């Protein structure tokens, strides 16, 4: 597992620190949730310690838009066979999906994507067993969390991965197609009507050199009027693995209005393992390019159309498969750079300035809540990790929880600014 060897590098190369204790002031509502040992934990800003609110077989948490409820998957041996909901205070725990869903068979099927559409509606899709793993059914269901009613919306093959626009008004479905047989497609869908999904884009299904299908990442214009997506050549992964010159990656703008067609706004030569991601204001993009001579990679920064590309980081091979992520509300980004010495550094870069080390202390899995604060796991010693909330500029930290070094939790958060 990738995070395991990064943890070893962090422990070997960084200065270990004592736990931070400062209580940080936040101008808003922050809720964190994670699974540890099959139990569900929640921490809210202002509380002294996290609370265990559910037990036995918890796998992954999904916090509601108002931060008051948490949906979560549950199952034996980390198989997400059922879906539950509970209040953040631990009240009113109840099952949503299990034996009660039409055509859903726990054991033979699993829960796939889970997305909050609004404060009372969850969308989800399913997986079916296809030895040796489970593969997406590309279906779609809706759940009214107040009544518990489950509504099948789209049958197998008619749905896809679920993506919601920033304004929560639009649902996109990504169907990967079948390589060499059926095109992939990106559709817009309104779960409140019986109208069939409408195609925004079709493209030749992209190979992955595995049984897992290719689902492109979706970025958005700030006003949610259009989606942005990078689609590689169908055989891009084979070209790259053979260290051949990469075919262009098409950069698509997908207007959501019915009368505007999809438009190619540019192309770039990008690694299959480092496809372009746009900034929150959709003015810039980051991507990786494989060096066909050395097999390494460079990190590039460009305008939204791919124009005016500039090399930002020359030796970026460690970032293949882990493209830098943009920091909310800024034109800054962050990434983990593993140096030739073995030192793993979390760096904060900017459109306008070279990258700087985010912290003098090694860390794992940083997540920016907003421009001012981030979460990360910090090694305290060889046996212990601390989950901390950090003020970016001041460096002040607040300890939220601690974990055994061999247990790396997946922490999700809800943030709502005051006003």
Q: What is the pLDDT of residue 352?
A: 92
pLDDT tens, residue by residue, 170-204: 999 999 999 999 999 999 999 888 789 999 999 99
Q: Which helix (H) or strand (E) holds 10?
A: helix 2-13
| Domain over 2-417 is classified CATH 2.130.10.120 | yes
Question: DSSP string spanning 18-72?
Answer: PPPBPPPP-SEEEEEEEEETTEEEEEETT-SS-EEEE-SSEEEEEE-TTSSEEEE
Q: Write down the pTM of the prediction.
A: 0.90
C-alpha distances (whole Å) from 22 to each of 29, 41, 395 are 18, 21, 11
191/154 Cα distance (integer angstroms): 10
Q: Looking at residue 103, what is its pLDDT?
A: 59
Q: What tens digit of pLDDT does each residue of 239-290 get?
A: 999 989 999 999 999 999 988 999 999 999 999 999 999 999 999 999 999 9
DSSP 352: T
Residue 194's pLDDT is: 74
Q: Report the pLDDT value the prediction gives residue 340, as an integer from 0 to 100.
A: 65
Question: Which stretches of the chain drop beneath a pLDDT of 70?
Answer: 1-22, 99-107, 339-343, 419
Question: Strand pairing partners for 404?
Answer: 384
């Amino acid at each position: 597992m990738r995070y395991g060897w990064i943890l070893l590098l962090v422990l070997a190369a960084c200065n270990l620190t004592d736990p931070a204790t400062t209580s940080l002031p936040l101008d808003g509502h922050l809720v964190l949730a994670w699974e540890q040992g099959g139990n569900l934990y929640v921490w809210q800003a202002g509380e002294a310690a996290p609370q265990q609110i559910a037990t036995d077989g918890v796998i992954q948490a999904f916090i509601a838009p108002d931060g008051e409820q948490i949906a979560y998957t549950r199952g034996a041996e980390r198989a997400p066979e059922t879906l539950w909901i509970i209040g953040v205070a631990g009240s009113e725990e109840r099952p949503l999906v299990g034996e009660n869903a039409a055509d859903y068979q726990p054991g033979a099927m699993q829960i796939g994507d889970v997305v909050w559409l609004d404060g009372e509606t969850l969308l989800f899709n399913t997986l079916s067993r296809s030895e040796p793993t489970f593969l997406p059914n590309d279906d779609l269901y809706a759940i009214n969390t107040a009544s518990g009613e489950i509504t099948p919306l789209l049958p197998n093959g008619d749905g896809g991965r679920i993506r919601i626009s920033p304004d929560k008004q639009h649902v996109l479905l990504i169907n990967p197609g079948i390589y060499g047989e059926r095109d992939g497609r990106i559709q817009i869908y309104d779960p409140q009507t019986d109208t069939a999904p409408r195609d925004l884009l079709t493209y030749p299904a992209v190979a992955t050199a595995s049984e897992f299908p290719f689902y492109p990442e979706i970025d958005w214009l700030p006003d949610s009027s259009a989606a942005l997506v990078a689609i590689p050549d169908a055989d891009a992964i084979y070209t790259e693995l053979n260290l051949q010159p990469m075919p262009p990656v098409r950069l698509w703008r997908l207007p959501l209005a019915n009368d505007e067609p999809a438009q190619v706004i540019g192309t770039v030569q990008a690694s299959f393992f480092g496809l372009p991601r746009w900034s929150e204001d959709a003015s810039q993009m980051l991507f990786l390019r494989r060096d066909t001579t050395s097999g390494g990679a460079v990190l590039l920064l460009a305008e939204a159309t791919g124009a005016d590309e500039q090399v930002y980081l020359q030796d970026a091979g460690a970032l293949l498969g882990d493209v830098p992520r943009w920091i909310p509300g800024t034109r800054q980004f962050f990434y983990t750079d593993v140096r030739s010495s073995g030192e793993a550094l979390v760096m904060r870069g900017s459109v306008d300035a070279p990258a700087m080390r985010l912290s003098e202390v090694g860390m794992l899995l940083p997540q920016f809540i907003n421009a001012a604060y981030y979460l990360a796991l910090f090694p305290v010693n060889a046996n212990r990790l601390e989950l901390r909330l950090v003020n970016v500029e001041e460096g002040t930290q607040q300890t939220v929880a601690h974990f055994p070094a061999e247990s790396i939790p997946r922490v999700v958060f809800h943030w709502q600014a005051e006003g």
